[in-house]
């Protein structure tokens, strides 16, 4: 657990900021990062303990990396240690790797020994008696690598296939005029410049990234390419990898994501740090990798919510990528068919350079999108007759269909007609979802259904009768992907049907397998959730049916329409890659809604204009800046009580009306100048900036929509401002104050800056 505050230690010899050290902390030892060298410790001289060991197996973390960490800690109001330590590969932050029998070894030495052996080199002169223990360590390293997810092995840095010098390198297509214009514009850039590459699905954004990357590589610089979810986009990764390996060499491309084993992650990280890897492809965590010769950052699908970390340091990798690019003086390219409204707003205001790819790169036309007004129709199990007819027609032509329903399970709730009982979770204020069991019941009996809570994970058997009235005829209400799959199997007995959702892909590698079946043409109808919407190029898919989109249309969350539009454009983009005419049907009871009207026209720009007008009128982001304080407690009243105190304290500052009240609040870390951050520390020496409280709005504390999860009750308080500096200044003072509130001991609280979901 990272601790707040910076901590002082005495170092015997030279230590430099960015160096890792092992320090005693209480009765344990921890790895820390040297942050600064104060002339005077913040605590009594005799209480300062000695650094136990200075680690020099990797060069000190570079200055720009320290700046990035300090910025993130300050911006997201988290301890510096919580930014720095998780950003390092696991082995580099575990003291055990450096202590005891393995003294002098350390994970890096082990890795190097392994690499040397793998390269066939006999490494001479291993220090001292490291020989025997060295071998043992090599085994440990190998085991870590072997523990990698099997399905992902081909994508890891270490296990990459030999360079495909035999025509496996994908051909370089001649660029379209729009692509060429974008490539030229990127080539002309000097220094920092954010670029928004807006290209419809299939417009060939990847090709533009590749050209830009090749230029940067040729100039001797490194490229960082961020993607939302690497495990779900093996196609993209494969293409990028092969093409870039052709330029940078096999060892020149490193891949980083959370699915890697420790040893693999360490190796990719080290190769990037040492400059051996010229291209780093990775998910959000890769953003924190030191790259000494960084020349370009690309953020693909920049609108994707996966760039936002949802726990601990709740950072946006896209936003930090822009900060990092500015700090390093390099261009950053954000690509999307449906940019976030924040990025679009910047681009239309001229702060970002806007490049557009308005057409598909290949022959394939964008699919025709049609709204199916469900109000006058008689639905069959939720499916409109024209949609079923469209599937039927594809089956006859030997083409594929995709039915998109963003709700997994069999039915969202089980229900008793006789008394009104519904399947609520006993630990959450939410319904238990009905799931069809994947295995037959005991003694080969019939499949048993199960109730599962999607919030807390609680599972139980479906009751044989209503717990309240004994009625034995409990009914599922509504439908999820399992029920849809079941119905389609009855309706189209000749069809081969596959379902891709979080349930059907629980096992490692199963998602890749299912996608491979679809690509191989072994599937006629694909049923899927948002998992199928991203990235995949299904060549023979000519029909997409969308169910239940309306559920997101009238959500409490003001970003829901933006997400819905992006999702529908994405899923529609799965169709029509092959060139034959394709169709998308969206079932809705509200076809006149502007969102749907823009969708039919493939009109992101129109949608964005409309949605931004609404945001401006309501004073919502990107026209305002937000932070969300969430409190959790055994009882809602405690959570609400703490938030009320937090608001009152801020209101008192506002009432005081001057900076003095704010400046008088304790500033965490401001008096502590610290040498070392063992999992530790708040931004050092922040100036006591007084917040202009007249620019801060604090809303009423409210319970979360699902108020209770796993018997914990939750409430939130939204803080908003029309000025980011004013909000930041306020948050600094506020987060210092919050732990001192009387209610703080009874709640767990966290602050999220720029929350994505409210
Ligand atoms: P996007 O990321 O914009 O949705 P992709 O980069 O996946 O689009 O490109 C879609 C398809 O078009 C890919 O199969 C890609 O190989 C192909 N492609 C890209 N540029 C060209 C081009 N200039 N000529 C022909 N095909 C292209
Ligand atoms: Zn009942
Ligand atoms: Zn629950």
562-601 pLDDT, tens digit each: 999 999 999 998 887 666 679 999 999 999 999 999 999 9
User: How many CB atoms within 10 Å of residue 196?
Assistant: 23
Is 466 among the annotated ligand-binding positions?
yes
* 701 sits in which H/E element: none
Ligand 2 centroid to Cα of residue 33, in Å, is 61
ipTM rounded to 2 decimals: 0.97
Ligand 1 centroid to Cα of residue 183, in Å, is 14
Residue 480 — left, alpha, or beta (φ > 0 → left; ψ -120 to 50 → alpha)?
beta
Tell me the average pLDDT across 418-447: 81
For ligand 1, atom 1, the nearest C-alpha belongs to 202
Sign for the pseudo-dihedral over CA of 260, 261, 263, 266? positive
- Contacts of 484-492 with CB under 8 Å at 24 or more apart are 484/381, 484/382, 484/403, 484/405, 484/527, 484/547, 485/527, 486/410, 486/436, 487/380, 487/381, 487/383, 488/391, 488/403, 488/525, 488/527, 491/380, 491/388, 492/391, 492/392, 492/395, 492/524, 492/525
Q: Which atom of ligand 1 is nearest to the CA of 170?
A: 16
For ligand 1, atom 24, the nearest C-alpha belongs to 173
Question: To test the ligand 1 pocket, which listed residue (172, 180, 207, 536) has its Cβ within 8 A of the most ligand atoms?
Answer: 207
For the chain, helix, strand, coil in percent to 5 are 35, 20, 40
DSSP state of 175: P
For 298, phi and psi rounded to 5 degrees?
Answer: -120, 130
Q: Which of 215, 240, 218 is nearest to 227 (CA)?
A: 240
Ligand minimally distant from the alpha carbon of residue 175: 1
Tell me the average pLDDT across 59-86: 94
Ligand 3 centroid to Cα of residue 433, in Å, is 10
Ligand 1 centroid to Cα of residue 603, in Å, is 20
pLDDT tier at 348, thresholds 50, 70, 90: very high
Contact 144, 267 (CB under 8 A): no
- Contacts of 703-706 with CB under 8 Å at 24 or more apart are 703/636, 703/639, 703/640, 704/630, 705/556, 706/428, 706/429, 706/430, 706/455
Judge whether residue 662 has pLDDT over 50: no
Helices (H), 449-593: 481-491, 510-519, 560-572
Q: How far apart are CA 306 and CA 708, in angstroms?
A: 25
For ligand 1, atom 6, the nearest C-alpha belongs to 204
Q: How far apart are CA 530 and CA 572, in angstroms?
A: 12
Place of tokens 């209610």: 743
For ligand 1, atom 27, the nearest C-alpha belongs to 361
Decide: residue 143, CB within 10 A, 0-12 exposed, 13-18 middle, 19+ buried. Answer: exposed
Q: How far apart are CA 33 and CA 19, in angstroms?
A: 6
Q: How far apart are CA 67 and CA 61, in angstroms?
A: 10
Q: How far apart are CA 288 and CA 278, in angstroms?
A: 16
Q: How far apart are CA 697 and CA 363, in angstroms?
A: 52
pLDDT tier at 657, thresholds 50, 70, 90: low
Judge whether residue 206 has pLDDT over 50: yes
Is 416 among the annotated ligand-binding positions?
yes
Is 453 among the annotated ligand-binding positions?
yes
Helices (H), 21-105: 63-75, 80-84
Helices vs. strands in the chain: H and E counts, helices first: 19, 29
**How confident is the model at residue 134, as a pLDDT?**
26
Place of tokens 């987060």: 735
Tell me the average pLDDT across 230-242: 71
The string of DSSP codes covering 332-362 is EEEEESS--HHHHHHHHTTSSEEEEE-S-SS
**How confident is the model at residue 683, as a pLDDT?**
36
Ligand minimally distant from the alpha carbon of residue 420: 2
Judge whether residue 45 has pLDDT over 60: yes
Judge whether residue 21 has pLDDT over 80: yes
**How confident is the model at residue 449, as a pLDDT?**
84
pLDDT tier at 126, thresholds 50, 70, 90: very low
**How confident is the model at residue 146, as a pLDDT?**
24
pLDDT, greater one: 13 or 391: 391
Judge whether residue 141 has pLDDT over 50: no
For ligand 1, atom 23, the nearest C-alpha belongs to 175
Tell me, rounded to whole angstroms, the distance of Cα 594 from its chain centroid.
29
Q: How far apart are CA 331 and CA 410, in angstroms?
A: 47
Ligand minimally distant from the alpha carbon of residue 416: 2
Q: Which atom of ligand 1 is nearest to the CA of 357?
A: 3
For 337, phi and psi rounded to 5 degrees?
Answer: -85, -25
For ligand 1, atom 2, the nearest C-alpha belongs to 205
pTM to 2 decimals? 0.87
Beta bridge partners of 65: none
Q: How far apart are CA 588 and CA 600, in angstroms?
A: 13
Place of tokens 């969430």: 630
**How confident is the model at residue 231, as a pLDDT?**
65
**How confident is the model at residue 133, as a pLDDT?**
25
Q: Which atom of ligand 1 is nearest to the CA of 205?
A: 3
Judge whether residue 150 has pLDDT over 70: no
Q: What are the tens digits of pLDDT across the range 685-711?
A: 333 346 788 999 999 999 999 999 999
**How confident is the model at residue 120, as a pLDDT?**
61
Q: Which atom of ligand 1 is nearest to the CA of 206?
A: 6
Is 102 among the annotated ligand-binding positions?
no
Q: How far apart are CA 537 and CA 360, in angstroms?
A: 13
The edge-to-edge listing of strands for the beta sheet with 497-500 is 368-373, 583-588, 541-547, 400-405, 525-528, 497-500
Tokens at residue 92, please? 């580099």
Judge whether residue 498 has pLDDT over 60: yes
Beta bridge partners of 356: 198
Decide: residue 120, CB within 10 A, 0-12 exposed, 13-18 middle, 19+ buried. Answer: exposed
Is 322 among the annotated ligand-binding positions?
no
Judge whether residue 129 has pLDDT over 50: no
Judge whether residue 137 has pLDDT over 80: no
Contact 587, 547 (CB under 8 A): yes
Ligand 2 centroid to Cα of residue 591, in Å, is 37
Ligand 2 centroid to Cα of residue 470, in Å, is 6
Structural domains for the chain:
9-103 (3.40.1440.60), 128-162+176-362 (3.40.50.300), 364-410+479-618 (3.40.50.300), 625-753 (3.30.70.600)
Ligand 2 centroid to Cα of residue 406, in Å, is 29
For ligand 1, atom 21, the nearest C-alpha belongs to 361
Residues with CB under 6 A from ligand 1: 173-176, 179, 199, 201-207, 361-362, 537
Is 425 among the annotated ligand-binding positions?
yes
Query: Residue 231, preceding bond cis, omega within 30 degrees?
Result: no
**How confident is the model at residue 664, as a pLDDT?**
45
Ligand 3 centroid to Cα of residue 460, in Å, is 11
Judge whether residue 135 has pLDDT over 70: no
Ligand 2 centroid to Cα of residue 200, in Å, is 51
**296: number of CA atoms within 13 Å, CB side?**
28
Pick from 125-134, 212-221, 302-311: least confident: 125-134
Ligand minimally distant from the alpha carbon of residue 431: 3
Is 650 among the annotated ligand-binding positions?
no
Q: What are the tens digits of pLDDT across the range 262-318?
A: 999 999 999 999 999 999 999 999 999 999 999 999 999 999 999 999 988 999 999
**How confident is the model at residue 536, as a pLDDT?**
78
Question: To test the ligand 1 pocket, which listed residue (362, 571, 574, 577) has its Cβ within 8 A of the most ligand atoms?
Answer: 362
Judge whether residue 538 has pLDDT over 80: yes
Q: How far apart are CA 27 and CA 190, in angstroms?
A: 52
Ligand 1 centroid to Cα of residue 320, in Å, is 28
Contact 402, 484 (CB under 8 A): no
Is 469 among the annotated ligand-binding positions?
yes
Question: To test the ligand 1 pocket, which listed residue (180, 197, 206, 243) has its Cβ within 8 A of the most ligand atoms?
Answer: 206
**How confident is the model at residue 395, as a pLDDT?**
97
Tell me the average pLDDT across 717-737: 95
User: How many CB atoms within 10 Å of residue 491?
Assistant: 15
Ligand 3 centroid to Cα of residue 510, in Å, is 27
Ligand minimally distant from the alpha carbon of residue 362: 1
pLDDT tier at 172, thresholds 50, 70, 90: confident
Tell me the average pLDDT across 227-246: 76
Q: Which atom of ligand 1 is nearest to the CA of 200?
A: 3
For ligand 1, atom 15, the nearest C-alpha belongs to 204
Q: How far apart are CA 131 and CA 428, in angstroms?
A: 56
The string of DSSP codes covering 442-480 is GGG-PEEEEEE-TTT--EEEPPSS-TTT--S-EEEES--
Tell me the average pLDDT across 658-671: 44
Ligand minimally distant from the alpha carbon of residue 200: 1
Torsion of CA 335, 336, 339, 345, to 10 degrees: 40
């Amino acid at each position: 657990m990272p601790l707040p505050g910076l901590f002082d230690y005495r170092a015997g010899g030279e230590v430099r900021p960015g160096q890792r050290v092992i320090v005693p902390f209480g009765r344990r030892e921890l790895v820390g990062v040297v942050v600064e060298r104060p002339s005077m410790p913040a605590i009594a001289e005799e209480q300062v303990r000695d650094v136990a060991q200075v680690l020099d197996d990797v060069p000190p973390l570079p200055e720009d990396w320290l700046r990035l960490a300090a910025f993130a800690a300050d911006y997201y109001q988290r301890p510096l240690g919580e930014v720095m330590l998780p950003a390092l590969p696991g082995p580099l932050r575990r003291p055990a790797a450096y202590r005891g029998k393995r003294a002098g070894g350390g994970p890096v030495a082990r890795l190097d020994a392994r690499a040397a052996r793998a390269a066939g080199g006999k490494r001479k002169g291993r220090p001292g008696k490291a020989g025997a223990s060295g071998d043992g360590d090599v085994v440990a390293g190998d085991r870590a690598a072997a523990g990698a997810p099997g399905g992902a092995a081909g994508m890891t840095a270490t296990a990459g296939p030999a360079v495909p010098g035999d025509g496996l390198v994908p051909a370089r297509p001649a660029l379209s005029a729009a692509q060429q214009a974008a490539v030229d514009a990127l080539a002309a850039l000097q220094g920092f410049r954010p670029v928004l590459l807006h290209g419809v699905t299939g417009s060939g954004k990847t090709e533009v990234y590749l050209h830009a990357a090749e230029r940067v590589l040729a100039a001797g610089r490194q490229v960082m390419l961020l993607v939302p979810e690497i495990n779900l986009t093996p196609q993209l990764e494969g293409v990028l990898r092969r093409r870039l390996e052709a330029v940078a060499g096999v060892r020149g491309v490193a891949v980083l994501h959370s699915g890697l084993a420790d040893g693999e992650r360490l190796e990719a990280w080290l190769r990037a740090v040492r400059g051996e890897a010229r291209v780093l492809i990775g998910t959000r965590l890769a953003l924190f990798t030191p790259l000494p010769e960084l020349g370009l950052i690309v953020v693909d699908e920049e609108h994707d919510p996966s760039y936002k970390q949802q726990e601990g340091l709740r950072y946006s990798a896209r936003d930090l990528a822009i900060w990092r690019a500015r700090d390093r003086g390099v261009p950053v390219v954000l690509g999307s068919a449906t940019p976030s409204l924040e990025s679009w707003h910047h681009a239309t205001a001229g702060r970002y350079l806007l490049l557009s790819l308005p057409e598909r790169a290949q022959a394939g036309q964008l699919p025709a999108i049609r709204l199916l007004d469900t109000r006058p129709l008689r639905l069959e199990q939720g499916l409109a007759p024209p949609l079923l007819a469209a599937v039927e027609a594809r089956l006859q032509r030997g083409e594929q269909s995709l039915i998109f329903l963003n709700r997994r399970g069999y039915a969202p709730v089980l229900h008793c007609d006789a008394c009104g009982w519904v399947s609520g979770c006993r630990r959450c204020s939410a319904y238990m979802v009905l799931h069809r069991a994947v295995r037959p019941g005991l003694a080969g009996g019939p499949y048993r259904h199960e109730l599962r809570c999607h919030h807390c994970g609680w599972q139980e058997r479906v009751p044989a009768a209503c717990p309240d009235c004994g009625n034995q005829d409990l009914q599922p209400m509504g439908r999820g992907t399992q029920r849809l799959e079941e119905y389609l199997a009855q309706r189209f007995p000749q069809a081969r049907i596959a379902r891709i959702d979080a349930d059907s892909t629980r096992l490692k590698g199963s998602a890749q397998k299912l996608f491979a079946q679809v690509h191989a043409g072994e599937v006629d109808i694909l049923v899927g959730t948002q998992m199928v919407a991203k990235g995949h190029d299904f060549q023979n898919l000519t029909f997409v049916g969308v169910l239940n989109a309306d559920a997101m249309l009238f959500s409490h969350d003001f970003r829901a329409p933006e997400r819905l539009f992006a999702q529908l454009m994405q899923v529609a983009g799965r169709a029509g890659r092959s060139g034959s005419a394709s169709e998308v049907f969206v079932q809705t009871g509200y076809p006149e809604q502007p969102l749907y009207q823009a969708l039919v026209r493939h009109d992101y720009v129109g949608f964005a204009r409309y949605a931004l007008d609404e945001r401006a009128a309501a004073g919502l982001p990107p026209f305002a800046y937000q932070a969300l304080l969430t409190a959790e407690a055994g009882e809602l009243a405690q959570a609400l009580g703490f938030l009320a105190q937090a608001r009152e304290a801020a209101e008192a500052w506002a009432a005081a009306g001057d900076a003095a009240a704010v400046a008088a609040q304790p500033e965490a870390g401001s008096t502590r100048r610290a040498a070392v951050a063992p999992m530790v520390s708040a931004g050092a020496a922040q100036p006591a900036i007084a917040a202009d409280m007249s620019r801060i709005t604090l809303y009423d504390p409210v319970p979360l929509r699902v108020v209770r999860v796993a018997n914990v009750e939750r409430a939130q308080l939204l803080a908003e401002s029309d000025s980011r500096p004013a909000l930041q200044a306020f948050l600094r003072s506020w987060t210092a104050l919050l732990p001192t509130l009387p209610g703080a001991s009874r709640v767990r609280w966290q602050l999220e800056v720029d929350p994505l979901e409210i």
